Amino acid sequence: MSDEVTAASKSSTDGLSDEAFIEALKRRQKKPFHKRWWVWVIAAVLAIGIAGNTGNNDVQELAAETPAVEEVAEQQEGKEVAEELEPEVLTSTSGLESAIVTRVIDGDTIVLDSGDHVRLIGIDAPERGEPGSSEATEFVRSRIVGQTVWLEPDGSNIDRHDRLRRYVWIVEPTDPRDEVQIREHMLNYLLLSEGHAEVMIVGSPRNAALFRAAVPAPPPEIFLSQDEEADSEVTVWLSATGSSWHSINNCGRMNPDRATEVTLEEARRRGGLSPCSRCNPPE
């Protein structure tokens, strides 16, 4: 096989590993020769054309202008290999519908090779332009674009925008109700657990409780009274050895270089300290 033909054949299968291409090519070459009818047709055309030209010069010109049978055959073979290796929807063993994802609109909406739009059940990801939208969209895109996914309905089949409502599995589950598999392989859950979406329950989906538990807990909030909030912004000075807080860093015999500035709230929390009677700091 010529290097040019091999390159031409291989160029039609860009994106495939060398091993996958070679294996497919071997399978194609194992076909019985009689099934490769186009080789016989090309050979017959060449034979008739050459026989009809009596001059040697004419024969040579015709041969020079006509591609070699083997070269044409190999080019055709490369096209057939590419066709054989087009993505196929995998057969489901779980009873779930399988499809290939062609596009991601945002973190909770995808498009299938059938043209159907799918809205992920139980979650709400940021819309385009909102904070976190790019991260959520890329999280989904990096996992499923061009890949086979498995779709599981729960409740209403479509939403008000005529999108399919589905759980989206990136690995086919052996048991769709198994919580371990949901946590590891269901895209809806992964978006929640990774902080790219919020829980949005419509109807009574069976995974509502599991989804709510998937959202990372926010840090505890600290509530301050109005006076405490004001005190947290006021600062006072502590001497290196004294037992009082001061309004200035050089009160009395204080060494300004060793004085420490803290909030009034912090000074109050430290035991054994009281406001200085000389410089009258806030109490």
State how far the Cα of 267 lies from the Cα of 263, in Å rounded to an integer: 6
Given a cut of 50, whether residue 2 has pLDDT beyond it is no
Strand order across the beta sheet in which 244-246 lies: 260-263, 235-238, 244-246, 274-275
State which amino acid sits at residue 200. Answer: M
Task: Say what the pLDDT of residue 59 is.
Answer: 45
Task: Round the CA-based radius of gyration of the chain to a whole number and report it.
Answer: 37
Which of 35-44, 118-127, 173-182, 237-246 comes out lowest in average pLDDT? 35-44
Q: Is 146 left (phi over 0), alpha (psi -120 to 50) or beta?
A: left
* List of residues 6+ apart from 67 with CB closer than 8 A: none
Q: Domain locations in the chain?
A: 3-84, 97-214, 226-275
pLDDT digits 0-9 by tens, 59-118? 455 444 444 554 555 455 545 544 444 545 455 677 899 999 999 999 999 999 999 999
pLDDT digits 0-9 by tens, 130-153? 999 999 999 999 999 999 999 999
Rounded to an integer, the average pLDDT of 14-22 is 55
C-alpha torsion 263→268→274→279, nearest 10: 20
Q: Which two tokens stand for residue 225?
A: 């009274």
CATH (residue range 97-214): 2.40.50.90
The H or E element that residue 181 is part of is: helix 179-185
